[in-house]
Amino acid sequence: MLTTDYKDGAPNWVDLGTPDTEGAAAFYAGLFGWEYRPGGEEVGGYGMFRLDHKIVAGGTAVTAEQTPPGWTVYFQSSDADATAAAVTQAGGTVRYEPADVQDYGRMAVFADPEGAAFATWQPHGNTGLDAVQEVGTLCWAELCTADVAAAKDFYCSVFGWEIAEMAFEGGSYKMAKPAGSPDREAFGGLVPIAGDPVEDSGRPYWTPYFEVADCDATAARAEDTGGEVRLAPVSMEGVGRFAKLADPYGARFAVIASAPPPPM
């Protein structure tokens, strides 16, 4: 599970690129109770989504020429430049070279060999999101990919991940975790995109999952406010009830009402 005690290789930030920051802010305010505060010129207008005064995501305006609307998952790195070199060596692409963001940290944006975008954040003044795993915050990240085995090799090479397996009827789910950590510190999964009726096999991507109290109510509210229910709520024993959604501008994400942990 995610915690704010961030380790290298684990998600420590997530942000939204959207053509309409005001419209997106209204949508996520209604969905999660977030408040959006745009940044100043010194950060290019990059703003923060807050919940109960805690930063839970970033957000910025993008144009169609720059990139499609979407969420980007950031993974912690102690050395963004070394991570960029590792991405290139492993067959990925550096889309945005490592750069300092004032004294907050150093970031870079990449694509894996299948084209799925992701980023890295090397913290300085900003160590990452203020809250995760709580209702209305990031709780999981999942890669939909054409080749799970190749993706595992790539990300393990770049971030030093270890892969744990969670068995279910008919197969197993591959979970990523920081090197040397127990399985309970897994923060994301790798799933095949082929055969998934709600996914486009030509668009592999990282899906951020946000914790909610009621998956069905959240999905209905998303649809009522201009979003799309891409996958209707479904339950998985021991995991919870989840749904795949998109905001009014096409940014894809998921929500989950997690099952309570088993008794100790």
User: Of 23-32, 165-174, 236-245, 252-261, which gets the smallest average pLDDT?
Assistant: 165-174
Distance CA 90, CA 99 (A): 21
pLDDT greater than 90 at residue 145? yes
Q: What is the pLDDT at residue 136? A: 98
Higher-pLDDT residue of 11 and 66 is 11
Instruction: Determine if residue 117 is left, alpha or beta; phi over 0 gives left, psi from -120 to 50 gives alpha, anything else beta.
Output: beta
Please list the residues that pair with 191 across neighbouring strands: 144
Segment 148-205, tens digit of pLDDT: 999 999 999 999 999 998 877 767 899 999 999 999 999 999 999 987 889 998 899 9
Q: What is the pLDDT at residue 218? A: 98
In the predicted model, what is the mean pLDDT of residues 36-43?
A: 89
Contact 185, 17 (CB under 8 A): no
Kindly indicate the confidence band of residue 143, based on its pLDDT and cuts at 50, 70 and 90.
very high
pLDDT greater than 60 at residue 99? yes
Structural domain range at position 27: 1-264
Q: Is pTM beyond 0.75 here? A: yes
What secondary structure does DSSP assign to the chain, as a single string? ---SS--TTSEEEEEEEES-HHHHHHHHHHHH--EEE---GGGTT-EEEEETTEEEEEEEE--TTT--SEEEEEEE-S-HHHHHHHHHHTT-EEEEEEEEETTTEEEEEEE-TT--EEEEEEESS--S-S--SSTTSEEEEEEEES-HHHHHHHHHHHH--EEEEEEETTEEEEEEE-TT--GGG--EEEEE-TT-TTS-TT--EEEEEEE-S-HHHHHHHHHHTT-EEEEEEEEETTTEEEEEEE-TT--EEEEEEEPPPPP-
Distance CA 255, CA 264 (A): 26
Q: State the average pLDDT for the chain.
A: 95
Q: What is the pLDDT at residue 197? A: 87
In the predicted model, what is the mean pLDDT of residues 26-40?
A: 96
Q: What is the pLDDT at residue 263? A: 64
Q: What is the pLDDT at residue 262? A: 66
Q: What is the pLDDT at residue 29? A: 98
Distance CA 254, CA 208 (A): 6
Segment 54-87, tens digit of pLDDT: 999 999 999 988 889 999 999 999 999 999 999 9
In the predicted model, what is the mean pLDDT of residues 3-26?
A: 97
CATH code of the domain containing 50? 3.10.180.10
Count up the domains in the chain and report the number: 1
